[in-house]
Amino acid sequence: MIIGISIDENNVYVNSLGDSNVLSFPFAVGRNLSSNSWFIGEDAKNEDIDNVDIVIDKLFYIMGTDGTARIGETPYDAKELTRVFFSNLLSKFENIEYVTVTIRQSNVKYLEKIKFAMQQFFGNEDKYKVTTYSEAFVSYIKSKEKSYYSNIVSLFDFTEKALTYYELVRYVDDNNIEYWKVNTEEHLALPLDLLSGDAGKKVCDKILFDFAKKCIKEETYNHIILSGLGFEDSSYYREFMTFVCSIANVETDVYFFSKSSALLSNDVINDNFEKNVMLITDARTTASIRMNAIVNQTKTKIELIKPGEEWFNLKDNFFDVILEDDREIKIEILKVIERVIKEVPIAIPEKIELRKDKTNLFEMGFNFVEQNLVQISLADKGFGEFYESSKESTSKPVEI
């Protein structure tokens, strides 16, 4: 079974590849204190089930704030509650071949907790992927014929907590590298309660129309996709619909992201990725991090972090370097889209004595805190058993 799961602030949507149905339920956990049983989704929130004593329905909020929830006498942290949720959810399915979980936010607070939950359930990384909606959007487009995306394909996602615009732009740069870049634009959230009255519907239509006019450029668009529960009732957004229909073919799929997440699962299983395409989304690094260094007596530019890598999945970003003379290491950041180079000097802490016989070994580390914020660290490693480490280190946040 190949599964796609998308999560928004309130709900979870689950789709099995090829199935037109989507399971949808609240992102919540509940617990019966006497039997110590856990419940999730509707089962947790259903008041008719009298054996659920405590319901935690602000799970997404708790994840984002690293919060805790007290159940009986025991406080549970966000990581544990997320683990419980996914453990219960995934155990409902048999023969899972691969699962992709996507969220809108490109934020480690959510991504790390979901990754932890998946790792705890599967025990290995070969069975799951946790990423953002942008990546699922790309998989959906890739699943189509090339004519579908010969020009721009865009998407409006309208949910309880967000109104977001996505567009996939493709281009080839001067170095003949093909880029697929997902641009996003966020509007202030519109509560879906607004759609319960005629006045509210009109306001929503007007806001959607204005937002679309702001986002849609004077370019050629192939398709515009409408996703999210905000587009479920198609009767109210006439002005918006007239406008987008004048731009491109319009298709509506309220559960778009769970289905496209399942397509992404399928892409991973079949290694269905264009090797010569540089994908730039909110889940990817947008810069090349480089350094001039000596390799075999020759001055060489070493690429330490490549652009287009999933920044929150980067591992082993540690490299050993030996300092020759200077008291600083210069890092070069090349922004691939803007083609701008930024030089970042990392100074060696004053307490570290610089030896003259090339025996100052340092470990350089790159830890992405956000897509465009990397913490660069430099730790003195001494030099084997010849020189002990001073245990001194330094780190510097660098905006990409």
Residue ranges in contact with other proteins by CB under 8 A: 291-297, 299-300, 302, 316, 318-326, 329, 357-359, 361, 363, 381, 383-386
Residue with tokens 């004053």: 350
Separation of alpha carbons 355 and 348, rounded Å: 13
Separation of alpha carbons 223 and 216, rounded Å: 12
Tell the smallest beta-carbon distance from residue 312 to other proteins (Å): 20
Tell the smallest beta-carbon distance from residue 339 to other proteins (Å): 24
Tell the smallest beta-carbon distance from residue 175 to other proteins (Å): 24
CB 38 within 8 A of CB 88: yes
Identify which of residues 53 and 324 has a Cβ nearer to other proteins in the complex: 324
Would you state the torsion angle of the CA atoms of residues 84, 88, 90, 95, taken in this order, to the nearest 10 degrees?
130
Tell the smallest beta-carbon distance from residue 386 to other proteins (Å): 6
3-class DSSP assignment, residue 140 = helix
First-to-last alpha carbon distance for the chain, in angstroms, is 39
Tell the smallest beta-carbon distance from residue 318 to other proteins (Å): 7
Tell the smallest beta-carbon distance from residue 55 to other proteins (Å): 38
Identify which of residues 152 and 361 has a Cβ nearer to other proteins in the complex: 361
Tell the smallest beta-carbon distance from residue 316 to other proteins (Å): 6
Separation of alpha carbons 166 and 257, rounded Å: 12
Q: Which helix (H) or strand (E) holds 76?
A: strand 74-77
Identify which of residues 125 and 326 has a Cβ nearer to other proteins in the complex: 326
Identify which of residues 70 and 358 has a Cβ nearer to other proteins in the complex: 358
Q: Which two tokens stand for residue 11?
A: 């709900």
**Of 157, 243, 242, 239, which Cα lies nearest the Cα of 192?**
157
> Sign (positive/negative) of CA torsion 218, 224, 227, 231?
positive
Tell the smallest beta-carbon distance from residue 124 to other proteins (Å): 22
Identify which of residues 327 and 339 has a Cβ nearer to other proteins in the complex: 327
3-class DSSP assignment, residue 325 = coil
DSSP string covering 254-286 = TTHHHHHHHHHHHHHHTT---TTEEEESTTB--
Give the ranges where the chain is alpha helix by DSSP (H): 41-45, 59-64, 78-90, 108-122, 133-142, 198-215, 238-247, 256-269
Identify which of residues 197 and 349 has a Cβ nearer to other proteins in the complex: 349
Tell the smallest beta-carbon distance from residue 349 to other proteins (Å): 16
Separation of alpha carbons 204 and 198, rounded Å: 10
Identify which of residues 93 and 386 has a Cβ nearer to other proteins in the complex: 386
CB 109 within 8 A of CB 125: no
Identify which of residues 191 and 345 has a Cβ nearer to other proteins in the complex: 345
Identify which of residues 111 and 361 has a Cβ nearer to other proteins in the complex: 361
**Amino acid, single-letter form, for residue 194:** L
